[in-house]
Amino acid sequence: MPTTFTVYSVIFADGSCYDFIGHLGVTSQVFAQMVAQRLSSCGLSEEALEQVFALTLGHRDTSSPLMQLFRASGVSHVMALSGLHLGIFCAAFSPFIALVRRKMGPMTVRIAVIFFVLLAVWFYVCIARWPMSMVRAATMLSISLLSALTPYRLRLLEVWLLSVMLILIFTPRSATDIGFQLSAMAMLAIALCCDREGEKENEPAPLPQDPTSLQRNRPLRNEENHIWKSAKNVVVEWVKISFWCQMFTAPLVAHYFGTFVPHAIVTSVVVTAYTSAVVYLCFILIASLFILPAFISEFLAQSINGLLWIQTEALRAFTAFAGTGLEGVKWSWLAVALWYACITLFIMQRGRLRL
């Protein structure tokens, strides 16, 4: 991961110069070291500390036995900072983001909200030392928020296209970055196959019906059935996202790493959801280290220890039972291109993509 920062400076009338990105980068690394020191002394076990560092600060050793376990289980992506982790981080700003997207309040207030949200997001990207997967996610969020100031509503696929174009314009070398390729393809899978807003736009409008007949034939809503249906829809959507992300990223994994984990779809659904809850707790723990009493931080640390121990032992047991997948499956670029051509034809046949 890069540890240096591109210098973008502004020169004032008196000849003085201020480096925005460089100053932000230095400040973020000082803050990251402070967080790491406090995490090291809050009661986390050695194995849990390694995972917390990877899940929040992006500090990980890919050659460690623990990271090899996640790779063998097909869920190493949860330990690499990406849009999943950035989205959890942005949950703290969700009320303000909703205010911007619903165009509530005066324009000056919305501009101020966007400025502070994006400042926090890019500060976190600096803390993580600019992994391209997070840069892609932060760029997409920036485009989405800035577009809320205009009368145009961008779909997820359009936001993805604009973000990839901007990244390639300003950092052409990122096209060869493995993390950027995997992250971009996973997000493309979601934009093409799991964009519910896009599906609603393509659905035909319902035929008008007599309001009196609707009132007469409306069934009584059972609250328990409604909750069960909502939970089932969430699980189905999660499985759908996991399946298509695997379909879009498996060829690249086979090409670069020579591995293919057939059970990765199953483990990814469970581990990603479980890890998301752990990441929420990790961010709360970091906040508690600065603003809450020590006993609360210790309680959170012990809770995280237990949750991560359960996840690690479950992965070890599952890997011992299901195996580590297929090794030595080295795909050529031709095989990768043919795979994506087949997926493109399949999506076009379903009517989700029209050229």
**pLDDT tens profile 200-235:** 444 444 444 444 444 444 454 555 566 677 777 777
pLDDT band at 76 (very low <50, low <70, confident <90, very high): confident
**Could you tell me how far CA 248 lies from the centroid of its own chain?**
16
Range of the domain at 26: 9-199+229-349
- Whether residue 355 lies inside any domain: the answer is no
Q: Tell me, yes or no, if the pTM score tops 0.85.
A: no
Coil/strand/helix, residue 19: strand
User: Looking at residue 18, what is its pLDDT?
Assistant: 44
pLDDT of residue 348: 82
A 10 A CB-CB count for 123 gives: 14
Please tell me the predicted confidence (pLDDT) of residue 101. 77
- Between 251 and 94, name the one with better pLDDT: 251
Residue 349 pairs in a beta bridge with none
Cβ atoms of residues 354 and 348 within 8 Å: yes
CA–CA distances in Å: residue 65 to residues 157, 254, 257, 279, 317:
37, 21, 17, 21, 15
Of 268, 278, 262, 260, the residue nearest 239 (C-alpha): 268
What is the arithmetic mean of pLDDT over 286-312? Answer: 93
CB within 8 Å of 331: residues ≥ 6 apart: 251, 254, 255, 339
218 in any annotated domain: no
Hey, which residues does 9 pair with through a beta bridge? Answer: 19
pLDDT at 223: 57
**Residue 28 CB neighbours (<10 A):** 20
Highest mean pLDDT among 204-218, 285-299, 320-334: 285-299
**Is residue 205 in some structural domain?**
no
Average pLDDT of the residues in 4-23: 46
> 3-class SS at 271?
helix
326 falls in which pLDDT band (50, 70, 90)? low
Q: Is residue 299 scored above 80 in pLDDT?
A: yes
- Whether residue 3 is contained in a domain is answered as no
Q: Using CA atoms, how far apart are residues 321 and 337, in angstroms rounded to an integer?
A: 33
Considering only 24-28, 75-79, 332-336, which range has the smallest mean pLDDT?
A: 24-28
pLDDT at position 324 is: 62
Alpha helices, DSSP H only, in the chain? 20-40, 46-52, 65-72, 83-89, 94-101, 107-127, 132-147, 156-170, 178-193, 196-202, 211-217, 223-257, 264-291, 294-322, 333-349
The per-residue pLDDT for range 114-156, each reduced to its tens digit, is: 999 999 999 999 998 889 999 999 999 999 999 988 888 889 9
**If we measure between CA atoms, which residue out of 150, 40, 62, 55 comes closest to residue 100?**
150
In a domain, 297, yes or no: yes
Which comes out higher in pLDDT, residue 239 or 22? Answer: 239
Tokens of 284: 């709360």
Rounded mean pLDDT of the chain? Answer: 81
Domain annotation covers residue 321: yes
Q: Is residue 223 part of a domain?
A: no
8 Å CB contact between 110 and 99 = yes
- In the chain, the number of structural domains is 1
Pairing of strands 259-260, 17-19: unpaired
212 versus 285: the higher-pLDDT residue is 285
Q: Is residue 337 part of a domain?
A: yes
Inter-CA distances, 272 with 80, 134, 210, 251, 300, Å:
12, 17, 45, 20, 20
User: DSSP 3-state assignment of 44?
Assistant: coil
